[in-house]
Structure 1
Amino acid sequence: MMMKKLIILVLLNAALVSCKKDSTKLVPYDPSAPVFAIYPAPFKGYVGDVMPFYDNNTFHLFFLMDWRDNAPQYHPWYKFTTTDLLNYTNKGQMIGYGRADEQDYTLGTGSVIKQGNVYYGYYTGHNYLFLNTARPQEGILYATSADLNTWTKKTEFLITPPAGYDFNNFRDPNIFFNDATQEYWMVVGARKNNAGELVYYTTKDLASPNWAFQGTFYAPNKYDMLECPDIFKWGTYWYLVFSDTNLENATHYRMSTSPSGPWITPANDLLDSKYFYAAKTASDGKNRYLFGWVPTKSGFADNGTKDFAGNMSSHLLTQNTDGTLAVSALAAVIQAFTKANNITTSTKTSDVTTSGSDYNLTSASSLSYALFGSINGSYMISGTVNFTAAPQNFGILLGSNTYASQTYKLGFQNGNMESDRVASGNTTTESSVPFILTAGKDYNFKVVIENSIATLYVNDQVALSTRIYSLQNQSWGIFSSNGSVVFKNLKSFGLK
């Protein structure tokens, strides 16, 4: 009923606006129609934690719907479906709220799994009304479905925090099947002794769940909370993906040859920056994809702070020969950018020389840059970069004014990929991921842009997502500080 009311309001508002302009051109909004998007979001509301599931040639992307309406209940499960990771259909609400006296007065993250012909959706029940009472604020519940669209809650089922664990932090169940033990394992985020850890339960049968608590799954003793765990096997390795709430505030991964550990921390354990959170994976049998969300900023302004929820974003995951994970752009997204744009230099510093689509930036002590046309709509920038004399930093300029004094720098500095906001002479690093470059080596890059979101991909290995509200209708460019850099085969593309 709530969704129907919202749709009616949207249609009425659209009609009123259209009638003022030209009533003969009224086009009703159809919320069930597929929408093309690189970073999808609902027509109204925002995407929170994503819970991907692949079935019958379709990605079912469950997510926490964030209405931002200050209502007492929040985060019901909604769902997008897509077959190509470019055209998304909003299927509406899947699992709704409970009563004020029930555990799932509000909802949280979980996971979907299939046994036989039944789908099981395990989720977090969060009831802040239980705070400082004898009842836990968070617990684990589940619902079942025969078609992934209509869900029935099993109201008699509830798992609460084990003895000795925090009553208020017990969430985000992830379930997988362990072939070695022929059991289902459920991993849950918990807190003990003021530190976050993951605990696990086992059962033989989801249809008659008798979950047995097995203890600690992973306890690094450094995070306040480990959220949204995701466990999967790929070849000979097991992988654990999780997000932390207090240090990098980003998505990490660990690897092991057994789901029982020990879990190895790779040299770069981040799968993106803090502007890509709560990511979980799904495989279509050929490739594995990572789904997270890019937060909006308060006030929808560049100087705002990160909000909860925003737009969905997805990356392709691949394995390196040593088992570590690499992140790259989706092939479908790259292939969608088929309209080549002309790159025309609007302004440049005197130390920039050009030869066709190659640009040489040499600066001994200051900022060297070249600016091009404005970004309008969806956009992709690609090229190769190489440096000789090590610069202080270099990369791509986005949302820039004529003098690059108000701009975003998406690039490389001090062994990191960074998103830096430059305003009134001050530089603020908004997000970063480790990535060490070697002098004299070519690095391929792509920047994928839609509306206020930009993602930098380098060498099909690493990704850096960011939110830039000044991105559209402003110049983009390239820059280098205190060094020598060559950008080669620089190109830009739009959609068809």
Structure 2
Amino acid sequence: MNSFSSSLHTPKANRMSALQYYKPDAPHLWVGDCMPFYHDGLFHLYYLLDEGHHQALGGLGGHQWAHASSPDLIHWTHHPLALAITEDEERSICTGSVFYQDGVYYAFHAVRRPDWSQRLGIAISADGITFTKQPAPPCAEPRAGYDPLHFRDPFVFREAMTGRFHMLVTAKYLEYAIPALGGCLAHLVSDDLQRWTLVEPFLIPGFDDPPECSDLFEWNGWYYLLFSNRLQTRYRMARTPLGPWLRPALDLLDGPWSRVMKTAAFHDNRRIGAAWIGTRSGDSDSGKFQWGGHAVFRELVQQPDGTLGVKFPREMVPASGAALPLPAAALTPGTTIDGSRVHLEAGDGMAAAGVEGLPRNARITLRGVPGRSAPRFGLRLRETAPFAGGVTLDLLAAAQRVEVHDAALDPVDGLDAPFTLEIILKGDLIDVCLDDRRCLINRCPQQRGDRLTLFCHTGSVTFEDLTIRRIYSGED
């Protein structure tokens, strides 16, 4: 048995709220890949409990499945570990999925072994809390023609018309015409969830890394396939559960630093996504993102054409107080202020207005109304002085692009029309929701200023209903 003791890393079973941006209390523990699941009125978050940013057990991960559940996304119960490391070959219990059938919860997972090879595993439970590992199924090992170092992240779904079960597995198909691009979702089928048959790959997206942590679901007549490419969540859409799959123009479900999103149903035909944002090495704004960090939740939005967006789940927005009396002040000519309304007429230059006293933890809301020719406008957050320090939220209407520091989304249409913005500042996180359809999150540890600047570079824009509220938090 290895020296890793699961008992030392088991969160206490307790109740708490505010799982948005959550991490375990211990400073060396973090949230990794999330596996949301919904059944019988209860939303479950299974997640990889990370120690030291994937460095536990010689860098193999040492991950175990932690578990919290909620009936309403507000009040959460933390349970003991759902899947713990108990065997010497288990150097990490990797990402997988939970599936319910005929009174049994199945936890399909993967095991990373000391030589870095991977195999699949199954555990079962009567209540979704206490799982018992089963003998490795016949499908556990990758077959000839598949890379033994890539066989993980099993996701199981049932095809409604046939009743057949399907399993998608992160894999690398070595017999692909271009082996370097053979990263795929391996495809196994079963009639009983026990005996599985490997068939042709489900998807070979053509990237130089295997598609990870897949998710497949039906929603209002469309089928969606999610997978992560270098930790960024992409999606495809189809009219049938087995494809053919279409790539939307913007196939990223969220921003680049919202990692490995998977989803689950929720009541009233809603769909909730769970991901994580890593910490930055050296607590530097330019530091490399590390593996594991804080949980990030999104609610999926379905557009009339079937494409997807995301927004903040309303129940999970951090609690905040009354609007603060923080009036804006003109910083340049061309600025007109009337209460919570700020009009910026920049002409061929820059117009700006500033607010002092921005709390460290804050919720900012506003409505933007761009003029007919306004290629660039936005907000500068946590400045130390006007246009000094801080983080820029750039809305680039002409380029159809949104940027927050080194995170970006494009193409984002509609930036030349009225829009709403909601911004959460929490610790070193900056989380932005545009029009309840696009989100972008970043982490900037070095910016601690208390100024906000509204700006327009060329053209004009009006910011209406500007409201700043202090988020209830132990950190000011």
TM-score (norm 1): 0.85
- The one of 131, 136, 149 equivalent to 1:168 is 149
Q: Which moved more, 1:369-378 or 1:78-87?
A: 369-378
* Secondary structure of residue in 2 paired with 1:318: strand
Which residue type is aligned with residue 484 of structure 1? Answer: S
Q: CA deviation at 1:380?
A: 1.6
Deviations along 1:23-64, one digit per CA (max 9) or x if unpaired, are xxxxxxx77241434311111211100000112322110101
The whole-number CA distance in structure 1 between the counterparts of 2:301 and 2:187 is: 27
**Counterpart residue number, 2:69:** 81
- The one of 163, 174, 179 equivalent to 2:160 is 179
Query: Counterparts of 1:166-315 in structure 2 under 5 Å?
Result: 166-192=147-173, 193-195=179-181, 196-206=183-193, 209-245=194-230, 249-286=231-268, 287-315=270-298
Q: CA RMSD of the aligned region, Å?
A: 2.4
* Secondary structure of residue in 2 paired with 1:54: strand
- The one of 111, 134, 148 equivalent to 1:154 is 134
Q: Which moved more, 1:452-461 or 1:46-55?
A: 452-461
Which residue type is aligned with residue 182 of structure 1? Answer: G
Query: Counterparts of 1:81-100 in structure 2 under 5 Å?
Result: 81-100=69-88
Contact 2:276 2:294 in 1 (8 A): yes
Per the alignment, do residues 402 and 313 of structure 1 end up closer, same or farther by CA in structure 2, a change over 3 Å counting? same
**Counterpart residue number, 2:121:** 141
Contact 1:139 1:170 in 2 (8 A): yes
The whole-number CA distance in structure 1 between the counterparts of 2:8 and 2:185 is: 40
**Counterpart residue number, 1:357:** 340
| Identity value in percent | 27
The whole-number CA distance in structure 2 between the counterparts of 1:188 and 1:3 is: 26
Contact 2:233 2:254 in 1 (8 A): yes
Contact 1:376 1:472 in 2 (8 A): no
Aligned residues: 453
Per the alignment, do residues 340 and 333 of structure 1 end up closer, same or farther by CA in structure 2, a change over 3 Å counting? farther
Which residue type is aligned with residue 154 of structure 1? Answer: Q
- Residue 479 (1) aligns with residue 460 (2): no
The whole-number CA distance in structure 2 between the counterparts of 1:6 and 1:141 is: 21
- Residue 114 (1) aligns with residue 100 (2): yes
Contact 1:275 1:431 in 2 (8 A): no
Q: CA deviation at 1:338?
A: 5.3
The whole-number CA distance in structure 1 between the counterparts of 2:219 and 2:311 is: 17
Per the alignment, do residues 294 and 225 of structure 1 end up closer, same or farther by CA in structure 2, a change over 3 Å counting? same
The unaligned stretches of length 5 or more in structure 2 are 174-178
- Residue 432 (1) aligns with residue 409 (2): yes
Q: Which moved more, 1:320-329 or 1:114-123?
A: 320-329
Contact 1:98 1:105 in 2 (8 A): no
The whole-number CA distance in structure 1 between the counterparts of 2:358 and 2:30 is: 24
* Secondary structure of residue in 2 paired with 1:332: helix
The whole-number CA distance in structure 2 between the counterparts of 1:335 and 1:278 is: 22
Which residue type is aligned with residue 163 of structure 1? Answer: A
Per the alignment, do residues 130 and 438 of structure 1 end up closer, same or farther by CA in structure 2, a change over 3 Å counting? closer
Which residue type is aligned with residue 153 of structure 1? Answer: K
* Secondary structure of residue in 2 paired with 1:299: helix
Contact 2:383 2:448 in 1 (8 A): no
The whole-number CA distance in structure 2 between the counterparts of 1:92 and 1:377 is: 33
Deviations along 1:58-115, one digit per CA (max 9) or x if unpaired, are 2110101111084315111111222332343332322122434x3x321210000111
Deviations along 1:206-242, one digit per CA (max 9) or x if unpaired, are 2xx1011121111121341211100001121110011
* Secondary structure of residue in 2 paired with 1:304: coil
Contact 1:347 1:372 in 2 (8 A): no
**Counterpart residue number, 1:58:** 42
- Residue 386 (1) aligns with residue 373 (2): no
Query: Counterparts of 1:10-49 in structure 2 under 5 Å?
Result: 32-44=14-26, 45-49=29-33
Contact 1:399 1:470 in 2 (8 A): no
The whole-number CA distance in structure 2 between the counterparts of 1:449 and 1:187 is: 37
- The one of 460, 468, 476 equivalent to 1:492 is 468
Contact 2:326 2:357 in 1 (8 A): no
Deviations along 1:262-298, one digit per CA (max 9) or x if unpaired, are 1011122111111111101111232111111111111
The structure carrying a bigger helix percent of its residues is 1
* Secondary structure of residue in 2 paired with 1:148: coil
Which residue type is aligned with residue 266 of structure 1? Answer: P
The whole-number CA distance in structure 2 between the counterparts of 1:384 and 1:316 is: 21
Per the alignment, do residues 50 and 374 of structure 1 end up closer, same or farther by CA in structure 2, a change over 3 Å counting? farther
Deviations along 1:333-383, one digit per CA (max 9) or x if unpaired, are 359445222232366233322122111223345543322134435422111
TM-score (norm 2): 0.88
The whole-number CA distance in structure 2 between the counterparts of 1:93 and 1:191 is: 30
**Counterpart residue number, 1:24:** none
The unaligned stretches of length 5 or more in structure 1 are 11-29, 132-136, 421-428
